[in-house]
Structure 1
Amino acid sequence: MPATIRYLTHPQVLIEPNKDVRKWSLNQAGFDRVAALAARPGALIGTGRVISSPEIKALETAAPLARALGLELETRPRMHENDRSATGFLPPEEFETVADQFFAAPDDSARGWETANQAQRRIVTEIQTCLATPGDGDVLFVGHGAVGTLLFCALSRIGIDRRYDQGPGGGGNWFEFDLQHQRPLQGWQPMEALMNQG
Structure 2
Amino acid sequence: MIGDVKPWKYAPHLDLEAWVKSKPVLLSAMMFHRDWLNWVGGFDTRFECAEDVNLLLRLSLINCQADWLHQVTVCYRQHQHQSSQNTPKLAKSFEAVLTSFFEISDLPASMHSLKNQYLYQNFVWLAYHLYSNGHGSLMAQYLEKSLDYSQKSKIEAIADWVDKFSSYALDGDSSFSTYDFSSLSDWKNLMASLLFNEVKNHIHQ
**Same topology, TM > 0.5:** no
Relative to total residues, which structure has the larger helix share, 1 or 2?
Answer: 2
Relative to total residues, which structure has the larger strand share, 1 or 2?
Answer: 1
TM-score (norm 2): 0.29
Between structure 1 and structure 2, the one with the greater Rg is 2
